[in-house]
Amino acid sequence: SHDIFYTTPLHRAAKENNISLVKDFIKNEAYVNAQDGFQDTPLHCAVFKENYEIVELLLNAGAQVNIFNSSGDAPIHYAWDKPAILRLLLKKGAPVNALTKDQCTTLHWAAAQGNLETVQILLDHKANALNKDANGKTPLNYAQALPENTVQEVANKENLIKLLSNLYNNSSTSIVHKNHSQSSAL
């Protein structure tokens, strides 16, 4: 069953972070890849609401990581600031370089918000740091535009720029990036 927006009870349970209801719906074979009127799946809802346990339950029940909604977003696009969920989605095969309608990747969004941890996770999973969005901007361009209002913001911005610049500068022959220990990831 669904409402006029095609929102199923499983969508609602995921949006409301109701773990016991999600478990019940899965146990009773609710369709985990149902899309509502915005083409969101329950997985989109759970990632957006940052509920790791529900994300894990849905993935283990067969939720697909590569379904795009009407805005052009896959669940991974909502994980730019959720490191644990991002790792889980990537482990389950989420497309690290999935493009939104604006040709942005999760790496663009993480860099634009200055999220060093998720940028590193994405790069460790071979995210394309050279991808240009619809405006011709790379994740490095977004990192360069970050504010510098506090000492912490300045340090974070410098670390992001250094990380992304190293990738950009090494790209003339191949993309090889360094992890925290400076050993090649490839």
Q: What range defines the domain where residue 135 resides?
A: 96-186
Report if residue 90 sits inside a domain: no
pLDDT digits (tens, 9 = 90+) for 15-64: 999 999 999 999 999 999 999 999 999 999 999 999 999 999 999 999 99
Q: Would you give the distance in Å from CA 162 to the centre of its chain?
A: 22
Report if residue 81 sits inside a domain: no
Task: Clarify whether residues 104 and 150 are in a common domain.
Answer: yes
Mean pLDDT of 147-174: 81
Task: Clarify whether residues 108 and 162 are in a common domain.
Answer: yes
Task: Clarify whether residues 103 and 181 are in a common domain.
Answer: yes
The domain tally of the chain equals: 2
Of the two residues 72 and 3, the one the predictor is more confident about is: 72
Q: Which residue has the tokens 């773990």?
A: 19
pLDDT at residue 66, as a whole number? 96
Task: Clarify whether residues 59 and 112 are in a common domain.
Answer: no
Task: Clarify whether residues 133 and 65 are in a common domain.
Answer: no
Domain containing 181 — which CATH number?
Answer: 1.25.40.20
pLDDT at residue 174, as a whole number? 38
In 3D space, the residue among 4, 6, 98, 95 whose CA is nearest the CA of residue 45 turns out to be 6
Report if residue 14 sits inside a domain: yes
Structure confidence at residue 7 as a pLDDT band (50, 70, 90)? confident
In 3D space, the residue among 103, 105, 101, 109 whose CA is nearest the CA of residue 146 turns out to be 109
Task: Clarify whether residues 67 and 103 are in a common domain.
Answer: no
pTM recorded for the entire structure: 0.85
Structure confidence at residue 167 as a pLDDT band (50, 70, 90)? confident
pLDDT digits (tens, 9 = 90+) for 109-159: 999 999 999 999 999 999 999 999 999 999 999 999 999 999 989 999 999
Q: How far apart are the first and last CA of the chain?
A: 47
Task: Clarify whether residues 57 and 120 are in a common domain.
Answer: no
Tokens of 41: 């799946």
pLDDT digits (tens, 9 = 90+) for 67-80: 999 999 999 999 99
Task: Clarify whether residues 141 and 55 are in a common domain.
Answer: no
Task: Clarify whether residues 12 and 48 are in a common domain.
Answer: yes
